Amino acid sequence: MMSLKETKKLETNKYSLEITVDGEKFREAIKQAYKKNGKKINVPGFRKGKAPLHMIETYYGVEVFYEDAMNLIYNDVVEEAIKESGLKTIEDKMDFELVSISKEDGVDFKVSVTTYPEIEIGDYKGLKAEKPAVEVKAAEVNAELNAMAERNSRMVSVEGRAAKKGDTVVIDYEGFTDGKAFDGGKAEGQPLELGSNTFIPGFEDQIIGKNIDDAFDINVTFPEDYGSADLAGKEAVFKIKLHEIKVKELPSIDDEFAKDVSEFDTLKELKADLKKKALERKNKAADEAVENELVQQIVDSIKGDIPEAMFENRLNACVEDFAYRLQSQGMNLDLYLKYTNSTVEDFRNTFRPQAEMQVKYRLALEKIVELEKITADEETINKHFQELADQYGVEVDKVKAAIPQAEIEKDIAVGKAIDLVKANAVITEKTAEEKKETEKKPAAKKTTTAKKTTGEKKTTTAKKTTTKKTEK
C-alpha cells in the first residue's frame, strides 16, 4: 500500500510530498515489470526470456527491475498522495528524490508539486463601464448592398472600343530577354485586370489603348528586387495577342435584386434586414467591449503570487491551438516560423500578454465562484454535455466519458460568475452625440504585439513577386 509520510511547504505554491510504498506493493510491481520486460533478458543456461525472476535477479542484481517497477506505480501513487494531501496542484515538472528502496521494505521517495495560488480579489460588484453608442447609418446599409452587388456581378465582353483602365483583358503572352524566351514567361488565355498592378510595372499600361485581335510588343524592365535572380533588373520584350476585353456588369439594386439574393420580395425589406443584422452585430460588439472593460478591472484587482507554470501551460495551449489552425490551412508551425523569421521562443512570447490575462481572469472568476458559492445545477450540466455532443456529432455518453463532469461544472460556474459581475455593474451608455464628439478627437496611435505571417507567393514570371500577409 501507499502512504503519505510528510507534506512540507518549500516556498509559495511549492510543496514536498514524501511518499512510501510498502514492500508487498513494490514486490508486486517488480513481478509486473518482470512479466513485461523479462522476455528481453538473456541468462546463461536458459532460452531467451525463459529465465525465472529469481535467476535474473541473481545474475543481474536484485535491483534489475526496480526502475521498471517504479515506472509502473509512480503515477498512481503520486496521484493518490496528492489527493490525500488535500493540495490543489497544477501541471508542472516534479522534482524527484529517492530516499530509500529495497525489495523487502519497499520505496520511500519525495516529489515536489506546484499548487494553485491563494488569490485575493478586490470589489467585483458595482464596477463601472461605458457602453459605446450603437447606430447604423444609411451609408453602411448601402455599402453592404453594393458589396452584395459586387458578389453577384458578372463579366461581359465588350467590342468596338480599345482597352482602358479597369477592364479585364484576356491575352496570350511570351517574354524574351536577350532575344531568348525564358522559363515561366509564357501563358495563353491569361485574364488580367488593367490597373490592378498584378504584373510588373509598365506591363499593364502598354495594353491600354489596344483593340481586340491586336498583336503587339511590350517593353519592360524587371525590378532590381524581382523574385527571380536571373531576371532581376533585366530588360524584356513580351509579345502579346489581345483576344478579349471584359467589363464587370453589376446588377441593378432594386426589388428584383432583393428577390435574387435574399428571401425578401422588396428592396425595402432587404434594407431593413441588413440594418437589423448590423445593429445586432454592433450591439454584440458593444456588449463585448463592456465585458472586456469589466474583465480588465477584475484582473487588475487580484493579488497573489501566480506560479510561472500556469502561464507556461496557457502559453503551450495557445501555441498548440495556433499550430492546429495553421495545419487546417495547409501550413505547419515550422514553415510559419521560417516565413516570419521568428524563433520558437519569440513566437511564444507574442502570446504571453494574452496567456497572462487568461490565467488571471480565470483565477479571478474562480475566486468569485468560491466567495459567492456558485454551483452548476444538473439540468445545466446535462444541457452543456448535449451541446458538446451536437457540436462534435457524437453521442452524449461518449462526451461524458471523455470529459470529467467536474470540469464542466467548473466552466459553468465561472460563466455564472461573469454574469454576476455584469448584472451588478453600473453601465453607462454613451449617446450617439457623445460618440460623434469622441470620433472628432485625434485617435491614439495603436501598438500591437501580434506578428504577421509574410511569405512570397510565386506567380508566372511576367507577374510581380507579391507578399501575402495573414494576421494572426
Read off the pLDDT band of 1 (50, 70, 90): confident
| CA–CA distance, 381 with 104 (Å, rounded to integer) | 49
User: What pLDDT, on a 0 to 100 scale, did the predictor assign at position 229?
Assistant: 85
Cell of 159: 467590342
- Helix axis angle, 138-151 relative to 267-301, nearest 10°? 110
Task: Quote the DSSP letter at residue 160.
Answer: S
* Banded model confidence at residue 466, pLDDT cuts 50, 70, 90: very low
What is the mean pLDDT of the segment spanning 414-427?
Answer: 94
So what's the pLDDT on residue 164? Answer: 95
Confidence grade of residue 103 (pLDDT, cut at 50, 70, 90): very high
Query: Residue 470: what pLDDT?
Result: 33
The stretch 276-284 carries a mean pLDDT of 95
The mean-pLDDT minimum among 23-27, 216-220, 433-437 falls in 433-437
Tally the C-alpha atoms within 13 A of residue 268's C-alpha that lie toward its C-beta: 0
Place of cell 521568428: 342
Rg of the chain over all Cα atoms, to the nearest angstrom: 34
The SS3 assignment for 436 reads: helix
Exposed, middle or buried: residue 53 (CB in 10 Å: 0-12, 13-18, 19+)? middle
Whole-Å CA distances, 120 to 12, 28, 306, 351, 392: 15, 46, 11, 25, 38
pLDDT range class, residue 360, cuts 50, 70, 90: very high
Fold match flag (2-115 vs 154-249+455-466): no
Q: Could you give the C-alpha distances from 403 to 8, 365, 451, in angstroms and in order?
A: 32, 21, 34
CA-to-CA distance for 91 and 74, rounded, in angstroms?
A: 16
Give tens-digit pLDDT for 109-120.
Answer: 999 999 999 999
List, for residues 42-69, the tens digit of each pLDDT value. 888 888 888 999 999 999 999 999 999 9
Question: Do residues 193 and 167 make contact, with C-beta atoms less than 8 angstroms apart?
Answer: yes
At the topology level of CATH, where does 2-115 sit? Answer: Alpha-Beta Plaits (3.30.70)
Phi, psi of 375, rounded to the nearest 5 degrees: -130, 170
CB-based contact 126:425 (threshold 8 Å): yes
Fold of the domain spanning 154-249+455-466: Chitinase A; domain 3 (3.10.50)
CB 90 within 8 A of CB 313: yes
- Bridge partners of residue 89, in order along the sequence: 115
Q: Which three cell numbers stand for residue 409?
A: 461544472
- Does this model's pTM top 0.75? My answer is no
Rank 94-103, 393-402, 458-467 by mean pLDDT and report only the highest: 94-103
Residue ranges per domain, the chain? 2-115, 154-249+455-466, 306-373
Percent of the chain having pLDDT more than 90?
74
Residue 242 confidence (pLDDT) above 60? yes
pLDDT > 70: percent of the chain: 91
Average pLDDT of span 296-324: 93
What pLDDT does residue 431 have? 66
Residue 460 above 80 pLDDT?
A: no
As given in the structure block, the three cell numbers for residue 217 are 510588343
Q: Mind listing the pLDDT tens digit for each residue in 171-214? A: 999 999 999 999 889 999 999 999 999 999 999 999 999 999 99
Placement of cell 511564444 in the chain: 348
- Which residue, among 152, 264, 130, 244, has the nearest Cα to 193 in the 3D structure? 244
With contact defined as beta carbons under 8 Å apart, do 430 and 131 qualify? yes
Q: How far apart are CA 93 and CA 82, in angstroms?
A: 14
